[in-house]
Amino acid sequence: MTNHLKSRYLIHLLITVLIGTFSSFNQALAVVTPPATKCNIRVDDPHISKYILRKRGVLAVKVNARSTCDKAMRNLELNVEIYKVGLFRDYRVGKGEVQIQGLIYANKVIKNEKANTECINQKSSRYYGIAYASAIIDGQPRKTLKVTSAKTITLECGT
């Protein structure tokens, strides 16, 4: 075989392999399915609670979260945790839990505004929030992944 024929043969072989690879890749993409629901949790950034200061007269770090789902659900448990950034690891300093037994209609916003922790002093510390939930959707128990607040915030609040 001449060099010209060898190179034409290799080019045809390469094209055949590439076509086979891309058609397999497209088939693999075609079997990806979207999530069954459009449920989500939004976590607010940590802040000093003006409400707790006004009502109880103490400084406190607070994190709020809300959950919505495009399907009806039952027995929702929405948890919010407050973490303080430490030198070697982060510490959970507060937690709030909302439990709603029974039916929750689709697209209803459920709020958890219970997670807070009182400041012991006014030492500067960094905080973030994490929220997660569990519920029964379409007769199946479901759990969310943990969702973190968008920012880690420095507050004049030592815990």
| pLDDT tens readout for residues 1-15 | 565 555 555 555 556
Top-level class of domain 40-158: mainly beta
Q: What are phi and psi of 144, to 5 degrees?
A: -90, 165
How do the domains of the chain map onto residue ranges? 1-32, 40-158
pLDDT digits (tens, 9 = 90+) for 52-95: 999 999 999 999 999 999 999 999 999 999 999 999 999 999 99
- Which is more confidently placed, 4 or 124? 124
The C-alpha atoms of residue 143 and residue 138 are separated, in whole angstroms, by 13
Chain segment 9-59, per-residue pLDDT in tens:
555 555 655 555 444 444 444 444 445 568 999 999 999 999 999 999 999
SS3 17: helix
**Of 77, 88, 91, 95, nearest to 142 (Cα)?**
77
Q: Smallest Cα–Cα separation from 127: which of 102, 158, 104?
A: 158
H-state helical runs in 31-133: 50-56
